[in-house]
Amino acid sequence: MTLQKLAYKENDLYSKVTALNHQVHTDKTDQKMQEIFGEYKKIHQTYADLSSEEIEALKRGLFIQWYALTEPNYLTGIKDLDRNAENRIIQSLNELIAAGRIDSELIWMLNYYSNWEWVFKKNNSFKSLDIAIVNEQNNQLPDTIEKEEMKLRGQMGKYWNLLTRFSKA
């Protein structure tokens, strides 16, 4: 599945989650939410599979991991990610950092995520990840982002576009 198709799938799932949150809570809505959790788990696994080859897949997969721990699952549609997939993404990130191939966008994203330092505690065996976050001097968000481009990046793009810091960009 291409990154574009994955983003489309994420946007579709997000729309379904939003719609479910506006419905009366029933066994049927619970079942639909469980199906969404399962679909999001598959998307995350696909990003993990691509993470060593595609930095964009790595960014999206890492975002999903962070978001799953920082926001309620009934708002995100993300729950119970596969631990092996999470580890593959962190391993890919570790290798990218160790090779010095990390880009500026990923740096500011990582530093933003590090504000929730406990999120990375379960991955403390990846020392390059810890060093990159702790030692990065440029830990500020950029002044602007490409909002139209972000719209094409799944739930990660939706999140960044919703931050008020970027509302005038």
- The pLDDT of residue 71: 94
Q: Is residue 157 part of a domain?
A: no
- The pLDDT of residue 169: 46
Q: How many of the other CB atoms lie within 10 Å of CB of 132?
A: 21
- The pTM of this model reads 0.90
Ranges of the chain whose pLDDT falls below 70: 122-139, 164-169
- The pLDDT of residue 134: 54
Q: Is residue 144 part of a domain?
A: no
Q: Is residue 15 part of a domain?
A: yes
Q: Following CA atoms 95, 101, 102, 105 in sequence, which dihedral angle do they give, to the nearest 10 degrees?
A: -150
Number of H helices, E strands in the chain: 9, 0
- Counting the structural domains of the chain, the total is 1
Nearest to 67 by CA among 126, 108, 116, 33: 116
Q: Is residue 127 part of a domain?
A: yes
Q: Is residue 19 part of a domain?
A: yes
**53 alpha carbon, distance to own chain's centre:** 17
User: Would you state the structure tokens that stand for residue 155, as one six-digit string?
Assistant: 């739930």
What is the domain extent for residue 22? 3-139
Q: Is residue 97 part of a domain?
A: yes
**30-61 residue pLDDT tens:** 999 999 999 999 999 999 999 999 999 999 99
Hey, CA dihedral for 138, 68, 59, 157, is it positive or negative?
A: negative
